[in-house]
Amino acid sequence: MNYEVYMLVTGAFLAIFLGLVHSYLGERYILTRLFKRELPKLLGSDWFTKRVLRFAWHLTTVAWWGFAGILFILSSPGEHTQKQILMVIAAVFLVSGLFSASFTKGKHISWIFFWLISGLSFYVAQSS
């Protein structure tokens, strides 16, 4: 392997590590402290506000893990690289939609768009 492969694989592992640290430290030191304060009341209470902030925070981790997957795929590209990257994109947007739908009980409609992007990416991956 050449040094570029090691660099991409190292970048992938760093992105995974960064996501873990971001989610853990964010929950422990930022979100829990933020939620003790008075927040805007969206849809009648601060419940929705807290849920949106929490899912948006952790969505960053999901995105970084998707980038880690893409970096790993690009470390040794092959005949099916486009299909593999599209599958990573489909998975990231599927999980993003699950986060949005479950954290807000479907009230934050981003899940619709996340799942549309996931489905489109999956469809193109399967047809290529």
pLDDT tens-digit readout, 12-29 = 999 999 999 999 999 999
In whole angstroms, give the CA distance from residue 11 to residue 64. Answer: 11
pLDDT value at position 89?
Answer: 98
pLDDT tens-digit readout, 63-106 = 999 999 999 999 999 999 999 999 999 999 999 999 999 999 99
| Residues whose CB falls within 8 Å of the CB of residue 120, separated by 6 or more in sequence, listed in order | none
pLDDT tens-digit readout, 50-72 = 999 999 999 999 999 999 999 99
pLDDT value at position 13?
Answer: 98
Percent of the chain with pLDDT over 90: 89
Phi first, then psi, for residue 106 (nearest 5°) are 80, 0
Give the residue-averaged pLDDT of 28-48: 91
pLDDT value at position 44?
Answer: 84
Asked if residue 45 has pLDDT above 90, the reply is no
For residues 50 and 39, the answer to whether their CB atoms sit within 8 Å is: yes
Give the residue-averaged pLDDT of 34-57: 91
Q: Please give the single-letter amino acid code of residue 113.
A: F
**Neighbour-count burial for 80-114, b at 16+ CB within 10 Å, e otherwise:** eeeebbbbbbbbbbbbbbbbbbebbeeebebbeeb
Mean pLDDT of the chain: 95
pLDDT value at position 1?
Answer: 61
pTM value is 0.91
For residues 71 and 4, the answer to whether their CB atoms sit within 8 Å is: no
Q: 38: which 2 tokens? A: 């008075």
